[in-house]
Structure 1
Amino acid sequence: MAALHCDGSLTADRAAYGGLMHNNMGVPILAYVGKGVEASVLSMELLAIHRGLSLCLEKDIHSVSIRSDSKLAVDILMGSITCPWSVYVLKCQIGALLHHLSHKEFRHVWRELNQPEDFIASINNGDGEAIIHPLEFPEDLMRLIHDDASKKTYFRPP
C-alpha cells in the first residue's frame, strides 16, 4: 500500500497545498506542490488530498493510505462529521476518486509527523503546480524524509 501524506498551507499572502507519495517500503515516489486560490486552510488540505489521489491514479496506484495532519479533513472524508458547504464540491470530487481505489484508509497524523509535507507545501513555485521527483528533492526535504524513515522521536511542547 502506498502512503500519501498531504498538507495545506495558508499564510497572509499565499494559499498552497503539497504532498509526498511513497511506496510501502517508504521510498519516495514523488512530491507535488501547487498554489491554491481559496483563502481557507480546509480547502487547501482537501485540495492536497484531491491532487495526491489524482496522481496516485495516474501512476496506477490503487491501494493508498491517505495521511493528513488535518483532523477536520480526515473526519469529513470518513463521513464522521458534516462537510461545510464551502468545500462540498471538493469533497464530492475526492469521493469520486476514492471509488477508483481497491483499498484505502484515512489516518490523522500529528503535525510533527507531517514535517516533510509541510516543507513541500511551503515551496513557492509561482502560480502553477510542480511535480518533484526524488532526484530533484531539496537537501532539507531529504533530511526530513530521512528523519521520518529512521523513526526520529518528536516531542510536543507542553
Structure 2
Amino acid sequence: MTALHCDGSLTADRASYGGIIRDDNSVLGMELLAILRGVTLCIQKDLLRVSIRSYSKLAVDILNGIVSCPWSLQALKVRITSLMEQLQRKEIRHVWRELNQPADFVAAIDTGDGESFFYPPDFPLDLVELIKNDSDRKTYFRTPSH
C-alpha cells in the first residue's frame, strides 16, 4: 500500500497544505541503506563482532531470512548479507523505537547533501542525553494504541 501523509495549516495571514506520498519500499530502502553503511563502517574500523539493532522489524526479518525481500531491494539485501560474511560474530535484532532513539536522532539531523560523521566530543547535547538514557537502561513504558 502507498501511504499519504497530509496536513493543512491556517493562520491569520496564511493558508497552506502539504503532504508526502511514500510506499513501504522507500522507508525500507533507507533502513537497509543505514544497515549497509553501518556494517561497512564496522568492517573498516575492524569491529567484527556486531549486534545490528533496528526498529524496522521488516528489515530485520528480511536479513534474518524470515520474510522475502521486495524485488526492488534485492540487490541491496545481497550487498548487506555479503558484507556480513566478513564479520566474526553477528546478530540482527529488532528493538522498539524507544531503544533506537540515538540512531533515530542522528538520522533526523539535516546535514545537507552527503554523509556526516559525529564523534563524541561533537555530539549535540540532546544526543548525549539519549545515549546516557540508553547506557543507564532507562525504562520506557509503551501505551496501548486505540
TM-score normalised per structure 2: 0.81
Runs of 4+ in 1 over 6 A off after TM superposition: none
Where does structure 1 lack aligned partners over 5 or more consecutive residues?
1-10, 14-38
Counterpart among 133, 138, 143 of residue 152 in structure 1 = 138
Partner of 1:49: 35
Partner of 1:138: 124
1:90 and 2:76 are equivalent in the alignment: yes
Partner of 2:96: 110
1:128 and 2:114 are equivalent in the alignment: yes
1:62 and 2:48 are equivalent in the alignment: yes
TM-score normalised per structure 1: 0.75
Partner of 1:99: 85
**Looking at CA atoms only, which structure, 1 or 2, has the larger radius of gyration?**
2
RMSD between aligned alpha carbons?
A: 1.7
Which structure features the higher share of helix residues?
A: 2
Deviations 1:3-45 (A, max 9, x none): xxxxxxxx967xxxxxxxxxxxxxxxxxxxxxxxxx7110000
User: With CA pairs under 8 Å and 6+ residues apart, which has the higher RCO, 1 or 2?
Assistant: 1
Partner of 2:63: 77
Which structure features the higher share of strand residues?
A: 1
Question: Aligned partners of 2:112, 2:54: CA distance in 1, in Å?
Answer: 24
Residue 75 of structure 2 aligns to a residue in which SS?
helix
Query: What is the total number of aligned residue pairs between the two structures?
Result: 124
